[in-house]
A and B are shown apart, each in its own frame.
Chain A
Amino acid sequence: MENQYWRSLEEREHFGDGGGEFQESPLRQIEPDQSRRGFLKAAGFAFAGGSLIGCSRAPAEKAMPYLSQPEGLVAGRAQYYASTCAGCSAGCGLLVKVHDGRPIKLEGNPEQAIGRGATCAVGQASILGLYDSLRLRQPLAEGKPTSWTEVDAAIRSHLKRDTAVRYLSGTITSPAKQAAIDRFLTQFHNAQHVMYDALSASAILDAHQQTHDARVLPHYRFDRADVIVSFDADFLGTWISPVEFAHDYTSRRLPPDRSWHAQFEARMSLTGTKADRRMKIAPGEIQERLLRLLRQVESANAGGDEVAERLLRSRSRSLVLCGANDVDAQVIVNQVNHLLGNYGNTLDIERPSRQRRGNDRELAKLLNEIKAGHVGALFMDGVNPMAELPEPPELGRVGLVVSLAGSLDETAERAHYVCPDHHYLESWSDAEPIAGLISLTQPAIRPLGQTRAIIESLSIWSGQPERAYDLLRQKYASNWERSVQAGIVQVEVGQAGPPAKWRDGQPKPPTPPSDSSGHTLVLYPGVAMLDGRHAYNPWLHELPDPITKITWDNCASLSPATAASFGLTDGDVVRIESMELPVVVQPGQHDSVIAVALGYGRKASERFANIGPHWIDRGPTVNAKGHVGENAARFLSLDGGVLRYERAGVHIAKTRRHIELAATQTHHTMEGRAIVQEVALKELGKPPETADVSEELWPPDHPTTGHRWAMAIDLNACTGCSACVLACQVENNTPVVGRDEVRRRREMHWIRIDRYYSGTPDDVEVAHQPMMCQQCEHAPCETVCPTLATVHSDEGLNQQIYNRCVGTRYCANNCPYKTRRFNWFNYPREDRLANLVLNPDVTVRTRGVMEKCTFCVQRIQEAKINSKHNGAPIQDGDTRTACQQCCPASAIVFGDLNDSKSRIARLAKDGRQYRVLEELNVGPSVHYLKIVRQEDQRNG
């Protein structure tokens, strides 16, 4: 595929002025000298446009045939365009897979340093936002559709030089956009740009203001850290830049240079599940613990404390982090890191991260201004304060409220004007996640509606209209083509801000928890929902939480002891002040803590009222309020200049109600079966004792002479982040079934991540195990299928022939891994726009047939066709499965066992290699690599 996405892109005509061109016939675009962009505009319009409400033309007659084939484009063959993910502010590089003008899949861009070719689940799912049928398609004035000219006129008429203009946005990583905002605000005497993050890291920046005179967020370098001590920072799950961190972290999890990771945390986080030493700690105790650590480090005397010892032993190669949004704690963290000499090594503030730039203090100030009615005009971009903040701003007191949101969220519906932004796959932009690391965003499809890039809106409102494309073209004029192709811009290092100096400051004494009675409510971002910006996304709602395995809900998770003390079990509904939530019992959580995920109970989730198959006994997906889950944001507090995610002294009350949670896994231990296998660090390298596999009943008369496809999954690397689950869903057109069907254990994901607890209730160990069809050599499913609907290929694949399947389900019953999925119904696919995301290379299955992981056979075929095309044999790595491609931990390796030089062939002989249920002699083709545990871990 390389040779495809390095194709030169000739950028000629302009882009983005939606309205005008929308009415034109796209065929006008297709001229002999037509560029890919033009083709994309045409095809994009033709395929997508037809399904838009308000578009009177039928798409088919506009679409085909090409008058002249755009150069280098073969219909039905995917092309890849480099871009940047905007699913969150981390800014991972992307290669957008475009099929006949439709973006259908996002792959990581290996050239870009943040994602390094990987993406997270949210990134994978964000493509569905492009085809969101409830996205705004034109500007709104007072809630009514209108034209851009009118909106622009109205807004400009409101704006006088002395209006108090406030621009409220989330973190802006795009320099171009930042410039546009600044330029826009300079028109006014009293204007201010306020940034805040719903998942705030403000305290870290404030702390560095105190300790380094620079309000920066360090760039954490887990790949350089021998010892990692994290206080409540879920850096593998949701914290700041999880994909980058997960990649760096897992690159150091094997000997010889295996890092040591201690996690102090209140709830069970993904990061906690991977820690060598995990200690439960109440949020209120973090500061004390940090202070103790600080003293130990200052006195260079660990006092027998393992964590301190290890830190002291690896000065300048260690990393101490804290996830709490608490300036005092962060100051202590900075001091510890300073004393250990980590700055400049594992923490980079020369070229700091720009992935979190929010300032909660300014947010608080702005809210007061709004309350006081001092704000004349409020522009809101990429934020949803009505749903994200503890108390919603009183927008009624603002003269002009303009929302730039792409869809009508809680805030946009209260705005005077809504000026919808493009989806990021439709727009030109750039991003600078790390100072000096610039990543470009290019459109992969013509805008589906009459939306307008914010940069352009701002330029129009500042009086000098400019196109985003032109802005970027000028900004990165040098080496433009290369930059657009690669998706990244090389900039000289000097560009970063002045080097920050260390300034001493004494830490304040720890503040004891305000109210010791009751429990502490901890609000955290779920791996799928984050701050709720993707609440419209059914894929993310149906993605099981990596820890609880619960879908379509946020729950109040309690420690087993606490739950027992209240006599609560999974699904019992409790009242936390005004909020009612089902309980989930979470081993490894601190007894004083109630943890609730943010981002639920959003207006965007109202659309799921009708999701899933319709039949007499179906249950609802949304709750009584018509939402999925409850919005817990009102329990945040904005005091002391930071958003606080803990609230002490919360009381919970039992209710009589009980609901059955939609969990994809309900049994959590391995029953002492060797399913996930571990090896102690000191055992590692010793030859493994060979498992005694019984004699074969049949002579092996099915040699695989050509390819022999197989997979290896490194359980030591896997963080359970679930990106693979979503990648697979997008790649293979897996349907969404809705809450009730999941509750009935009928989720359709082809790959699932089994999560097992072991150890003691106090010291829980967690293992993640991706589980998909094991493509057995002696597949039990094949023998029992009466119609030959599942048979074996001569390349070792267990094939499922959909159109021959009558659906006896015998194969699924006889599958020891239970990885086969049955189409119990015809799952509704009424949303024609959303259907545009379907992968044309994969059949959409109908009711009554069995389906399962195919090892992405369509990709294997593509690779084979390519190799036939250019006469070269398939190289190792030419064909990569969707789950492998997106894995931030590179835990999945796929390849040809018969190719002795391939990675898979090597890993199949690795000392850590084993196969699940090998004793059944079904000969699975998926090899697992054992988890490496610290030998002394149990008695830790």
Chain B
Amino acid sequence: MNRRVLIGIFDSEDAILQATDSARRRGWKIVDVFAPYAVHRLDKAMGLKRSRLPWVCFALGLFGASFKVWFEYWTTASDWPINVGGKPWNSLPAFVPITFEVMVLCAGISTVLAFFGMSRLWPGRRAALLDPRVTNDRFALVLEEDNAAFDVAEVERFLMEHRAVRVEEREQEGTA
């Protein structure tokens, strides 16, 4: 379903921070904020929940490590034990280095993939840009006109107060 959004374009970090912060306080629905770089404390300003990526990382790291330990034990000590330099069939200490490497590899790669999935990034995806300069030096605050109480004029004024360089109203299909 289509919806109307109000977009404020800013050109400074401080402005967007304050604007977002007070917009949230006023209970307006913040669709998203667009920034050319990771602005400090903006997540708090938008009131976002913490990312769950660390859990993915931990889980798959654990999996990689335990799989490798089992694999090394199986190949070396159980499936086809070979006497190598008189070392015990199960030379656990000697398995540590590779176990660690596999853990890191598993955790790292899987977290990245998880990230791509979560944030719906894939090769060749067309970028939906609010402003061509939003990846350069502009910041954009997107507010949804969700209910009748949402007074466009007032919000525009509010945005201008917060040193927005431009404010525009737009039809948007789906969610940004």
Question: Is there any pair of Cβ atoms, one from A and one from B, under 8 angstroms apart in the complex?
Answer: yes
Residue positions of A touching B, CB distance < 8 A:
698-702, 776-783, 785, 788, 791-794, 923
Q: A777-B86, A778-B85, A778-B86 are in contact. List 8 more A-B contacts (CB 8 A).
A: A698-B87, A698-B91, A779-B86, A782-B85, A783-B85, A791-B84, A792-B82, A923-B86
In the complex, 11 of the A-B residue pairs with CB atoms within 8 angstroms, ordered by the A residue number, are: A698-B91, A699-B88, A700-B86, A702-B83, A777-B86, A780-B85, A782-B85, A783-B85, A788-B82, A791-B83, A792-B82
Question: Who on chain A is nearest to B91 by CB?
Answer: A698
Q: In the complex, what residues of A have CB within 8 A of residue B85's CB?
A: 776, 778-783, 792
Q: In the complex, what residues of B have CB within 8 A of residue A794's CB?
A: 83
A455 CB to closest chain B CB, in angstroms?
58
Does B89 lie at the interface of the complex (its beta carbon under 8 Å from any beta carbon of A)?
yes
B19 CB to closest chain A CB, in angstroms?
60
Q: In the complex, what residues of B have CB within 8 A of residue A776's CB?
A: 85
Q: In the complex, what residues of A have CB within 8 A of residue B84's CB?
A: 782-783, 785, 788, 791-792
Q: In the complex, what residues of A have CB within 8 A of residue B89's CB?
A: 701
Q: In the complex, what residues of B have CB within 8 A of residue A698's CB?
A: 86-88, 91
In the bound complex, CA of A234 to CA of B119 (Å): 89
CB neighbors of A among B26-43 (8 A): none
In the bound complex, CA of A793 to CA of B85 (Å): 10
A890 CB to closest chain B CB, in angstroms?
31
In the bound complex, CA of A778 to CA of B89 (Å): 13
Question: Who on chain B is nearest to A696 by CB?
Answer: B86
Question: Who on chain A is nearest to B80 by CB?
Answer: A788
1/0 per position for B80-107, CB-CB distance to A under 8 A? 0011111111010000000000000000
In the bound complex, CA of A701 to CA of B84 (Å): 11
The answer to whether A792 and B88 have CB atoms under 8 Å apart is no
Question: Who on chain A is nearest to B86 by CB?
Answer: A778
A472 CB to closest chain B CB, in angstroms?
55
B74 CB to closest chain A CB, in angstroms?
15
CB neighbors of A among B49-104 (8 A): 82-89, 91
The answer to whether B87 and A791 have CB atoms under 8 Å apart is no
In the bound complex, CA of A35 to CA of B89 (Å): 54
Q: In the complex, what residues of B have CB within 8 A of residue A792's CB?
A: 82-86
Q: In the complex, what residues of A have CB within 8 A of residue B86's CB?
A: 698, 700, 702, 777-779, 792, 923
In the bound complex, CA of A791 to CA of B83 (Å): 6
Question: Who on chain A is nearest to B84 by CB?
Answer: A782
A858 CB to closest chain B CB, in angstroms?
21
A794 CB to closest chain B CB, in angstroms?
7
> In this complex, which of A702, A777, A781 has the most chain B Cβ atoms within 10 angstroms of its Cβ?
A702
In the bound complex, CA of A794 to CA of B88 (Å): 14
The answer to whether B82 and A791 have CB atoms under 8 Å apart is yes
Question: Who on chain A is nearest to B83 by CB?
Answer: A792
B37 CB to closest chain A CB, in angstroms?
45
A697 CB to closest chain B CB, in angstroms?
9
Closest 6 pairs between A and B when the two form their complex, measured CB to CB: A783-B85, A782-B85, A792-B83, A778-B86, A782-B84, A702-B83
In the bound complex, CA of A779 to CA of B91 (Å): 15
The answer to whether A783 and B87 have CB atoms under 8 Å apart is yes
Question: Who on chain A is nearest to B76 by CB?
Answer: A788
B78 CB to closest chain A CB, in angstroms?
14
Question: Who on chain B is nearest to A702 by CB?
Answer: B83
Q: In the complex, what residues of A have CB within 8 A of residue B87's CB?
A: 698, 778, 783
Q: In the complex, what residues of A have CB within 8 A of residue B82's CB?
A: 788, 791-792
In the bound complex, CA of A698 to CA of B93 (Å): 11
Q: In the complex, what residues of B have CB within 8 A of residue A780's CB?
A: 85
In the bound complex, CA of A779 to CA of B87 (Å): 10
Question: Who on chain B is nearest to A782 by CB?
Answer: B85
Q: In the complex, what residues of A have CB within 8 A of residue B83's CB?
A: 702, 791-794
> In this complex, which of B82, B85, B89, B91 has the most chain A Cβ atoms within 10 angstroms of its Cβ?
B85
In the bound complex, CA of A781 to CA of B85 (Å): 7
A640 CB to closest chain B CB, in angstroms?
66
In the bound complex, CA of A702 to CA of B85 (Å): 10
In the bound complex, CA of A788 to CA of B88 (Å): 15
In the bound complex, CA of A923 to CA of B85 (Å): 10
In the bound complex, CA of A699 to CA of B91 (Å): 11
Q: In the complex, what residues of B have CB within 8 A of residue A791's CB?
A: 82-84
Q: In the complex, what residues of B have CB within 8 A of residue A781's CB?
A: 85
A155 CB to closest chain B CB, in angstroms?
68
Q: In the complex, what residues of B have CB within 8 A of residue A777's CB?
A: 86
In the bound complex, CA of A782 to CA of B91 (Å): 14
Question: Who on chain B is nearest to A780 by CB?
Answer: B85
Q: In the complex, what residues of B have CB within 8 A of residue A788's CB?
A: 82, 84
Q: In the complex, what residues of B have CB within 8 A of residue A793's CB?
A: 83
B141 CB to closest chain A CB, in angstroms?
57
A817 CB to closest chain B CB, in angstroms?
15
B68 CB to closest chain A CB, in angstroms?
16
In the bound complex, CA of A440 to CA of B81 (Å): 53
1/0 per position for B6-35, CB-CB distance to A under 8 A? 000000000000000000000000000000
In the bound complex, CA of A780 to CA of B88 (Å): 14
In the bound complex, CA of A702 to CA of B88 (Å): 8
In the bound complex, CA of A36 to CA of B84 (Å): 46
In the bound complex, CA of A778 to CA of B83 (Å): 10
In the bound complex, CA of A45 to CA of B82 (Å): 45
B49 CB to closest chain A CB, in angstroms?
47
In the bound complex, CA of A358 to CA of B82 (Å): 62
Q: In the complex, what residues of B have CB within 8 A of residue A783's CB?
A: 84-85, 87
Contact of B88 among A701, A779, A785 (CB under 8 A): A701
In the bound complex, CA of A779 to CA of B83 (Å): 10
In the bound complex, CA of A783 to CA of B85 (Å): 5
Q: In the complex, what residues of B have CB within 8 A of residue A782's CB?
A: 84-85
In the bound complex, CA of A883 to CA of B28 (Å): 94
In the bound complex, CA of A791 to CA of B87 (Å): 11
A702 CB to closest chain B CB, in angstroms?
5
A709 CB to closest chain B CB, in angstroms?
14
Question: Who on chain B is nearest to A778 by CB?
Answer: B86
In the bound complex, CA of A788 to CA of B81 (Å): 11
Question: Who on chain B is nearest to A785 by CB?
Answer: B84
Question: Who on chain A is nearest to B89 by CB?
Answer: A701
B97 CB to closest chain A CB, in angstroms?
13
Q: In the complex, what residues of A have CB within 8 A of residue B91's CB?
A: 698
In the bound complex, CA of A777 to CA of B87 (Å): 10
In the bound complex, CA of A778 to CA of B86 (Å): 5
In the bound complex, CA of A782 to CA of B84 (Å): 5
A801 CB to closest chain B CB, in angstroms?
11
A425 CB to closest chain B CB, in angstroms?
42
Q: In the complex, what residues of B have CB within 8 A of residue A923's CB?
A: 86
In the bound complex, CA of A781 to CA of B87 (Å): 12
Q: In the complex, what residues of A have CB within 8 A of residue B88's CB?
A: 698-699, 701
Question: Who on chain B is nearest to A701 by CB?
Answer: B88
In the bound complex, CA of A794 to CA of B87 (Å): 13
Question: Who on chain B is nearest to A923 by CB?
Answer: B86
In the bound complex, CA of A923 to CA of B84 (Å): 14
1/0 per position for B148-170, CB-CB distance to A under 8 A? 00000000000000000000000
In the bound complex, CA of A655 to CA of B86 (Å): 56
Q: In the complex, what residues of B have CB within 8 A of residue A779's CB?
A: 85-86
Q: In the complex, what residues of B have CB within 8 A of residue A700's CB?
A: 86
Q: In the complex, what residues of B have CB within 8 A of residue A702's CB?
A: 83, 86
B72 CB to closest chain A CB, in angstroms?
13
In the bound complex, CA of A923 to CA of B83 (Å): 15
A693 CB to closest chain B CB, in angstroms?
14
A819 CB to closest chain B CB, in angstroms?
16
In the bound complex, CA of A698 to CA of B83 (Å): 13
> In this complex, which of A701, A777, A791 has the most chain B Cβ atoms within 10 angstroms of its Cβ?
A701
Question: Who on chain B is nearest to A700 by CB?
Answer: B86
In the bound complex, CA of A792 to CA of B89 (Å): 12
In the bound complex, CA of A785 to CA of B83 (Å): 12
In the bound complex, CA of A283 to CA of B87 (Å): 59
Question: Who on chain B is nearest to A794 by CB?
Answer: B83
> In this complex, which of B86, B89, B91 has the most chain A Cβ atoms within 10 angstroms of its Cβ?
B86
In the bound complex, CA of A794 to CA of B82 (Å): 10
> In this complex, which of B84, B88, B89, B91 has the most chain A Cβ atoms within 10 angstroms of its Cβ?
B84
B114 CB to closest chain A CB, in angstroms?
33
In the bound complex, CA of A698 to CA of B92 (Å): 11
